[in-house]
Structure 1
């Protein structure tokens, strides 16, 4: 390799993947350390699950449907504004921002904790003291998860702070949601109501760790927010920041291996994907986002490499098998035992404003019963059995975004991966007629499900498209199309498994970031980035991140 080529392929920092964790690390290392950063993304759009897309006149988000803690003055908003250099504005969703819909009743959730508690007590007065205790425990449990993440840091100040927090807050990490609810509540309807947001972490009460459930509940106590202009604004803002410091985003680049020399990670080997089958009319090629046009091998080098593609991909695919990872086998057993959360999404375009049907922009969690365990077990069988789905999540991007020009919705439901395995090796956009026919049937059944609750809904649809777990897998390479990283079951938080999700990996020079380092969701992945920043050489400490956020706000 010539000196000119070597210089071109060397960076201060390489990010594998461009999800929220990677965007956080890339942005802050560019802004606060003036590092030349390379972000490698296998998709033809940057942003991971924060990216968005268009079909004809319609526009949808992919993974960001709403975000909590974005109220002005909150710490999370301050960090987010720092990451995006204040280029992303947030629109507060109308109140109520959530609606839990069951056959016999509906319950509205407002972004006001006191009102949430009062509304629950009004319905279940006999459980008044337990309801109040629940919200106190939610905060303790969410804090316990953050303390656990901090205690795994290799940064001594962060580690000490997290360890001290664990001594003060001893909320158990191995308590399931079901065990907590059964201990504190009597009414089965109230128990079901309290877990109505379980689609935000993708697990039923019997196996989900209460700390994960609590983190989601606390996250939305002040309501939901949506990025003005769509979720794609996040990656677009970070791209400008990275390029200003001499860095680059390269798209259609799949990292196939971490390069190791003398026992340390020194670079990555990349497969440049062929994008000739991509519909480039729907691809934003601005801001020097490189669109690949041929298949080729490339290598890039940096003293620090950060993986945002999850613990499973990092340890089981990217690090060569002959490099000793002490927990590789236990991690492999874990992902075989616990199926990752994946989903089906129907993207809809409307002929008229859905507000005519009474929608205001709130999310609708629609359930056919209060038996969430049964609903979870049914997530795969209805696909092959020509049965009806038992639940959906209904979201309206166009009613959340004041810049939206045409009206859209998304119907989302958890799914098994298994029903789609037979088409795994067929190429995206070119899978056979049987697959296309199945997708059509699934779309029709999901739309019919919603239409039964909201008559007239189906009549306004003029565009529809469905993505499956294979779509998720194609663009992310996540195991079985996982959307939330490692499942948040109690085993994930067992002390003997803590090494899976620490920012500093057993391979010197390689670090982990994103939701696996902290928790699921956009803000969880962002905080994963903040944890990683405190661990990497020449990184940014916790206090500096928060101080920089406060300074940026004052400006």
Structure 2
């Protein structure tokens, strides 16, 4: 019998989402670490991967990103992470369209125009609208400084305490409470909350600071990676491999290995090729991008994780995670002939967002959703070869739970019929708003929360990790979002450390690198990104 040689690394990352990719790239480039990334899916990238069918390509998680204008801090950071291998294209204006029964509103990537257009539509709310644009800056700052205080240095903790005197935003303030406190017109309140599917929590449950963070992120418009989101993981893979590391796919981490009370590595199940022996990989530092629930309830030794796991289970029972269905569409023709230009369409059948939230718990069984999001990957990507669209609707996990134990792609005819019903329901809703849409459709595929659960192992197929409800910020719940875990050498990263979304996960990764051995602080990361940008610009001038 051949003994498999021991495989050692400087750093092991569980999962290959953008949080893990960011940590891996920065630690490889700036600290010369040999990194191993372990991913259970067949492709790297987590929710930033792309997939294809019959020449069509879709993006299951990354639909658009804000703050990617050339020369901005976030863009410089992405360029450093990907070593300039990913190009970004700006979505056309208007980049968002909010559609209600008696109201349609276009959003342009210009905060001054956004504000002016709102005032023109609701002149009686002029002062409140102006205050809102100031308050979303304060709300975004409040959430960032809370995370920095939670996971940063003493300097950040001091700054966060002082900043409260400026922003005055309580994280317990809900989005709906803020809107009700400052606005009168029900249509305006609904309009301002239109993007809440971007964070998966209704206005009555979401912190205003979270809402402010998402709205602020998109004030300058939306951007899309040329070639699709899969370019992100491919670029980081080349960076990691250039520094002696690697990404291994079909690998499900089953256990954190310990040695004298500290992390020693991970035990891994190979998911491809039948009855494969378990694999072990060793490193003094392990970073989990698998989410707080998976880390504490499935991977950590029970003695260290039991208290947090029990609290997490109670939290998820009280606050089920955001789940959804997606309809992936391939077109036979060009959707531009119907007037689409690549903008996102937020379609609502009511201005009552709480009714939208309630309907997600039973529409799958016989009604239709009160909210859908319509997106066009092919119209955002200049390299797309065939036209595509995606329709996303919130849907509860319970509607699909009866098929949870049936294997992927082998579920019974009742599940197939349910997916066909979802397809027809969503197409009919879009057709009602945009006649002629279904005539262009050539191919359809439906994914459910079970799809997400199969590929990500997130509880109930959660689309955004820990639910970002107000209760998440209660003192007894803050331990889960700390970078440092109770086990020496084991750290967290990704959206559960800070906030959901692509940029939220990247910033969560910076909190992680600031806590690791041979740390990279947030200022160091942004400074390195700016220096790399200047060096790249100088190199281009010399070769011009």
TM-score, normalised to structure 2, is 0.96
Which of 291, 305, 325 matches 1:310? 291
CA contact (8 A) 2:347 2:372 kept: yes
Contact 1:149 1:162 in 2 (8 A): no
Match of 2:52 in 1: 54
Whole-angstrom CA distance in 2 between matches of 1:198 and 1:23: 26
Distance 1:154 1:524, change over 3 A: closer
CA contact (8 A) 2:262 2:487 kept: yes
Classify 1:371/1:154 alpha carbon distance in 2 versus 1 (closer, same or farther; 3 Å): closer
Partner of 1:479: 459
Give the Å deviation of 1:155: 3.7
The 1:265/1:160 distance shift into structure 2, 3 A limit, reads farther
- Where does 1:59-458 land on structure 2 (aligned, <5 Å)? 59-153=57-151, 155-166=153-164, 168-274=166-272, 294-324=275-305, 326-384=307-365, 386-458=366-438
Query: Counterpart of 1:524?
Result: 504
Q: Deviations over 1:505-526 (max 9, x none)?
A: 1111100000011111100001
- Residue aligning to 2:541: none
Distance 1:267 1:155, change over 3 A: farther
Cα distance in structure 2, aligned partners of 1:161 and 1:245: 36
Equivalent position SS for 1:348: strand
What is the CA-CA distance between 1:2 and the residue it aligns to? 9.6
In 1, the alpha carbon distance for the partners of 2:4 and 2:42 equals: 27
Structure 2 counterpart SS, 1:152 = helix
CA distance in 1, matches of 2:61, 2:102: 30
Of 156-165 and 202-211, deviating more is 156-165
In terms of mean alpha carbon deviation, does 477-486 or 254-263 score higher? Answer: 254-263
- Give how far 1:256 is off: 1.1
Question: Is 2:522 the counterpart of 1:542?
Answer: yes
1:256-307 C-alpha deviation (Å, 9 max, x unpaired)? 1111222112111111113xxxxxxxxxxxxxxxxx6653311111111000
* Cα separation, partners in 2 of 1:82 and 1:164, compared to 1, 3 Å: farther
| Gapped regions of structure 1 (runs ≥ 5) | 275-291
1:535 partner SS: coil
1:277 aligns with: none
8 A Cα contact 2:11 2:286, kept in partner: yes
Q: Is the 8 A contact 2:35 2:244 kept in 1?
A: yes
Alpha-carbon RMSD: 1.5
Q: Which runs of 4+ in 1 moved over 4 A?
A: 1-4
Contact 2:146/2:160 (8 A) holds in 1: yes
| CA–CA distance in structure 2, aligned partners of residues 83 and 303 of structure 1 | 23
Q: CA deviation at 1:335?
A: 1.0
**Partner Cα distance (2:60, 2:431) in 1:** 23
CA displacement at 1:326 relative to structure 2: 4.3
User: Which of these residues, 470, 488, 503, is aligned with residue 508 of structure 1?
Assistant: 488
Normalised to the residue count of structure 1, the TM-score between the two structures is 0.94
Contact 1:342–1:482 (Cα < 8 Å) also in 2? yes
* Equivalent pair of 1:16/1:39 in contact (CA under 8 Å): yes
Please give the per-residue CA displacement for 1:145-183, whole angstroms capped at 9, x wherever unaligned.
Answer: 000111112544444444443454331111101111110
Per the TM alignment, residue 327 of structure 1 is displaced from its structure 2 partner at its CA by: 3.2
- Alignment correspondent of 2:540: none
Contact kept in structure 2, 1:102 and 1:370, CA below 8 Å: yes
Find the residue that maps to 2:52 and give its secondary structure: strand
Alpha-carbon distance in 2 for matches of 1:531, 1:37:
18
Whether the 8 Å CA contact 2:297–2:305 is kept in 1: the answer is no
CA-to-partner distance for each residue in 1:68-98, whole Å, 9 max, x for gaps? 0101121111111111111111000000000
Displacement of 1:3 in angstroms is 9.5
Q: Are the equivalent residues in 1 in contact too, given 2:293–2:309 (CA < 8 A)?
A: no
Paired residue total: 535
2:8 aligned with 1:5: no
* Partner residue, 1:29: 27
Gaps of 5+ in 2: 536-544
